[in-house]
A and B are shown apart, each in its own frame.
Chain A
Amino acid sequence: QSALTQPASVSGSPGQSITISCTGTNSDIGGYYFVSWYQQHPGKAPKLMIYEGNKRPSGVSNRFSASKSGNTASLTISGLQAEDEADYYCCSFASSNTLVFGGGTKLTVL
């Protein structure tokens, strides 16, 4: 049950696109389709942005998209906005019917 690997930080200018990677193993990301992504602003509860790989909950902007290749999942935010500045976490279903989160990525909008 080791944490998934995310870059500690990424940055981009308003209007640009950024991608956050999330690397796991065959026992989590590579073995299952249940990858989710969460946004967390300081002092707030996490918010679900993507579930089941690439589905967006109602109300989440279509600027957020996700994909998976092998043991790596990715979250892309296009048309970056100031309000996107937050911490982002990936999460995957894992063997033994457990879940594992990534270490988190701090997104800075320059």
Chain B
Amino acid sequence: EVQLVESGGGLVQPGGSLRVSCAVSEFTFSSHWMSWVRQAPGKGLEWVAKIKEDGTEKYYVDSVKGRFTISRDNAKNSLYLQMNSLRAEDTAVYYCATGQYSHGYWGQGTLVTVSS
């Protein structure tokens, strides 16, 4: 069974940094694009970023460009999202998901709270 398990969420002050991770198992991780999608409390889904199989192409939603960096380690079947200069509006559950155009598998999410 395919499993995606996010970790690294928590409480961080505005302007701070945090890295969330996603460990993927029972899936040909190195052969697929991967994405991050977030959901603010009580709100809808928002696509955040995606990365090509080999990490050579990365795309972001405008609101996080220059602040967030998506990366992957195919040897560890892991996906990462480095978040810098965090703002209150970045507070959300962050999901990792498989796919470039649609997301067939999702993790359970990790909550990131930006507050002083």
Contacts and interface: CB of A to CB of B under 8 A. Distances in A.
Q: Dominant SS at the A interface?
A: strand
Interface residues of B, number: 21
A100 B104 CA distance: 16
A69 interface: no
Interface in A58-110: 87, 89, 91, 93, 96-104
A96 B46 contact: no
A38 B75 CA distance: 30
A93 B47 CA distance: 11
Contacts of A96: 59
Interface in B36-81: 37, 44-47, 50, 57, 59-62
B106 A99 contact: no
A45 B102 contact: no
Given A97-B59, A98-B61, A99-B35, A91 B47 contact: yes
B49 to A, nearest CB: 9
Given A36-B101, A99-B35, A46 B45 contact: yes
Contacts of B102: 34, 36, 48, 51-52, 91
Given A99-B47, A101-B44, 15 more contacts: A38-B45, A45-B95, A45-B107, A45-B109, A46-B103, A48-B102, A48-B103, A51-B101, A91-B47, A91-B103, A98-B60, A99-B101, A102-B44, A103-B44, A104-B44
